[in-house]
Structure 1
Amino acid sequence: MTDTEKSDEYVRSPNAFTDRITADGSSGWPVEPGRYRLVVSLACPWASRALVVRRLLGLESALSLAVTDPIQDERSWRFTLDPDDRDPVLGIRFLSEAYLARDPDYDGGVSVPVIVDVPSGKLVTNDYPEITLNLETEWTALHRPGAPDLYPEHLRAEIDAINEDVFRDVNNGVYRAGFAESQPAYEKAVYPLFARLDELERRLQRQRYLVGDTITEADIRLFTTLVRFDAVYHGHFKCNIRKLAEMPALWAYARDLYQTPGFGDTVDFDHIKRHYYQVHRTINPTGIVAVGPDLRQWLTPHGRETLGGRPFGDGTPPGPPPADETVTPLEVAGSTAA
């Protein structure tokens, strides 16, 4: 491959702030209920991971939530969904303000999810792979009774290996296909994406979850890409060799998770579709939002119970989401006004 072709490939920027919040405080950021604020976009698959984990572990009262507008402007993520266009806890209009509070000289990208220290207003971390692992392993004293073990110690090596493959070929693969700037760069991404999906299809034909017989971090990371696949990645990102709905095991698996408390109740298709179709103007210059597919199919029976498995292991399902964290109903998200 030539240097010109290489430059046409999409390369994800590294996370700039990678501090951890630890139970013993040795990192300088101790776990404390109410001290930190999780900032997400409901459109973003990387942020959606943190939303699902926070719900499953019952951390809503310990870690408050800020939701950005799905439509960014030149200053990136903004709090225009809140009164006076400011986050009511942090008092800022743009997420970039928390980045600059941490590093006044920072001139990189502004990404979600992040965790912000409320007293100082400083960003703690935007390291999305570690945010969920941190919530699972360091915040255990604040987990709800009956919280599932999403990162069991005896399965971590297998979970990590699957996560690496899924990130490279699927989670990031859809972006590498969608933002490719040449035919060779696009094909270099799209063929491994579907090869990995085919491998996952075969794996999930024989077992309900990716690792073991319960939901783990691996399922959460795959789900947040699958739930966006037919709605945006298939058309908008040209990941159109097959639809998710044409891969029987993966489609049933995704519906199984969607219908599990803590998953579908964090998914807002309205935010997802408006963000991808209206923000990525280099891909979709008109900003027209596709009206399909029929999102009600996410509520159809999946039949995965026949494979056994215990979704929450020895734990229990989370309760309903807080009233102020409910998402747009599927009927609205699937309408022409989405």
Structure 2
Amino acid sequence: MGRLVDGVWHTDWYDTKSTGGRFVRKTSAFRNWVTPDGAPGPSGSGGFAAEAGRYHLIVSLACPWAHRTLILRRLKRLEDTITVSVVEPLMLDDGWTFAEPDPVTGAETAWQVYVKADPVYSGRATVPILWDRERETIVSNESSEILRMFNAAFDALDGVETRLDVYPQELREEIDAVNARVYDTVNNGVYKAGFATTQGAYEEAVTQLFESLDWLEDRLARQRYLVGGRITEADWRLFTTLVRFDPVYVGHFKCNLRRIVDYPNLSNYLRELYQHPGVAGTCDFETIKTHYYGSHETVNPTRIVPLGPVLDLDAPHDRDRLPLAA
């Protein structure tokens, strides 16, 4: 873990002293958008037209934020359109590192990619990173926006799955509302609990986390998916946290009031999404556990990786008892 200050790398852990022991995630810095014709998107500048072979995705298989982009890349059949590089499981003094120099950027670390894009960049060197070969810069490091680019920007290109739309116009308001709560209290909530440095900050985060898991359990008792009777981006954004919850967040981040396996609806829902064609292949539990237990010395000083839990995500689920959208 570390951060860049004016383009110089520093091996700093998160500062929680100034926030009363609370972990506060910084806003992503690169917020450009790939669009069908290169016109400006909702933020940033224009000039990033959708083209096959132009863009390169850098991810960690451990990271839930990067994982959501990998899922959409696979489901939209963008694997021949957007290349990918995967960093090593451990994130230590140099942050995310490559086993070999990244073949597209030539970087040995993720922070070198950031400096290549902006020589005086200040901030964390996070993944995912969407890189533009043509302009040699970072398009975006905001996973939620990369998700939406993958959903629609490349649809005019050959081979892309145009029938899949995980952010349909008629459901956007409800999707955004669900995403807002899930992001704050679940996706980011596990980190707020795990990286808290006071009892009060930890208990605040865990309480909100399990209030939202209880809310999701109730919601999924009445409907098959989170919004609209069909799989949307809201489901994939939740999935990448749920699939890490019992292996990592229960123990490592002390989110142990209940496990996902203790929730009948959430656990069946998790199995259905895991069994969705193409998704299981994006999940690497060895890398996930190695990363979390081995990278966060302040949370796990011994860096011992537990052997369990035993997962059975291939077991049958009962979600087909609930109707799909018409």
TM-score normalised according to structure 2 size: 0.90
The structure-2 alpha-carbon separation of the partners of 1:305 and 1:5, relative to structure 1 and needing over 3 Å to count, comes to same
The structure-2 alpha-carbon separation of the partners of 1:5 and 1:18, relative to structure 1 and needing over 3 Å to count, comes to closer
Identify the match of residue 141 of structure 2 among 92, 111, 126: 126
Identify the match of residue 139 of structure 1 among 129, 145, 154: 154
2:109 aligned residue:
94
Structure 1 contact 10–176 (Cα < 8 Å) conserved:
yes
What is the rounded CA distance, in whole Å, between the counterparts of 2:50 and 2:155 in structure 1?
Answer: 10
Identify the match of residue 61 of structure 1 among 75, 80, 95: 80
Structure 1 contact 9–185 (Cα < 8 Å) conserved:
yes
- How far has the Cα of 1:203 moved from its partner? 0.6
Identify the match of residue 293 of structure 2 among 277, 294, 318: 277
Identify the match of residue 216 of structure 1 among 206, 221, 232: 232
- How far has the Cα of 1:43 moved from its partner? 0.1
Calculate percent identity across the aligned residue pairs: 48
Deviations 1:200-220 (A, max 9, x none): 000101111111121100000
Paired residue total = 304
1:321 aligned residue:
none
Query: What letter is aligned with 1:63?
Result: I
Structure 1 contact 37–116 (Cα < 8 Å) conserved:
yes
Q: When you count helix as a share of all residues, which structure comes out higher?
A: 1
RMSD: 1.6
What is the rounded CA distance, in whole Å, between the counterparts of 2:162 and 2:115 in structure 1?
Answer: 39
SS at match of 1:50: helix
- How far has the Cα of 1:89 moved from its partner? 2.8
- How far has the Cα of 1:21 moved from its partner? 1.1
- How far has the Cα of 1:145 moved from its partner? 4.1
What is the rounded CA distance, in whole Å, between the counterparts of 1:255 and 1:19 in structure 2?
Answer: 34
Identify the match of residue 51 of structure 1 among 70, 90, 114: 70
Structure 2 contact 155–161 (Cα < 8 Å) conserved:
no
The structure-2 alpha-carbon separation of the partners of 1:280 and 1:145, relative to structure 1 and needing over 3 Å to count, comes to closer
Query: What letter is aligned with 2:124?
Result: G
Q: After the TM superposition, which of the residue ranges 12-21 and 225-234 deviates more from structure 2?
A: 12-21
What is the rounded CA distance, in whole Å, between the counterparts of 2:63 and 2:307 in structure 1?
Answer: 19
Query: What letter is aligned with 1:14?
Result: T
- Equivalence map 1:57-206=2 (5 Å): 57-80=76-99, 85-142=100-157, 144-145=160-161, 147-206=163-222
SS at match of 1:65: strand
SS at match of 1:299: coil
Structure 2 contact 155–162 (Cα < 8 Å) conserved:
no
Query: Structure 1 unaligned runs (5+)?
Result: 314-338
- How far has the Cα of 1:137 moved from its partner? 2.6
* Residue 71 of structure 2 corresponds to residue 41 of structure 1: no
What is the rounded CA distance, in whole Å, between the counterparts of 1:291 and 1:246 in structure 2?
Answer: 20
- How far has the Cα of 1:144 moved from its partner? 2.4
- How far has the Cα of 1:119 moved from its partner? 3.5
Deviations 1:113-146 (A, max 9, x none): 0101124432221011111012213222136246
Q: After the TM superposition, which of the residue ranges 238-247 and 140-149 deviates more from structure 2?
A: 140-149
1:299 aligned residue:
314
- How far has the Cα of 1:147 moved from its partner? 3.7
Query: Structure 2 unaligned runs (5+)?
Result: 1-15, 40-45
Identify the match of residue 28 of structure 2 among 15, 21, 46: 15
